[in-house]
Amino acid sequence: MPLGVLFLAGIAVSAGALLSLFHHIRMLRARLTELEAQQAQTLELVSSLVVDGAGPEAVKQTLSALLRQPPRIP
């Protein structure tokens, strides 16, 4: 097999691997953004409970209920 063909095949495989890597990075960034939004919503919920005068037990129960929910994975 000519050396040039092997060289081009290696470049093609490397390019495919890089595209796959960039795709996974994009997916992870999107997931991180979603988790950050969920974290902000949870913090807002807990803050509103505290401002409304909810005691520690109410906050604990609310957080426990949130943690029991299955994760939303796209």
Sketch the domain layout of the chain as residue ranges: 3-68
- Residue 61 corresponds to which tokens in the numbers above? 């129960």
pLDDT at 27: 96
**Do residues 59 and 50 touch, judged by C-beta distance below 8 A?**
yes
Question: Max alpha carbon distance in the chain (Å)?
Answer: 77
- Region 33-47 average pLDDT: 88
Give the contacts of 62 (CB within 8 A, at least 6 positions apart).
Answer: 45, 46, 49, 54
* Percent of the residues in the chain that have a pLDDT greater than 90, as a whole number: 39
Of all residues in the chain, the percent with pLDDT exceeding 70 is 93
Query: Measuring CA to CA, how many Å separate 5 from each of 14, 19, 30, 66?
Result: 14, 21, 38, 56
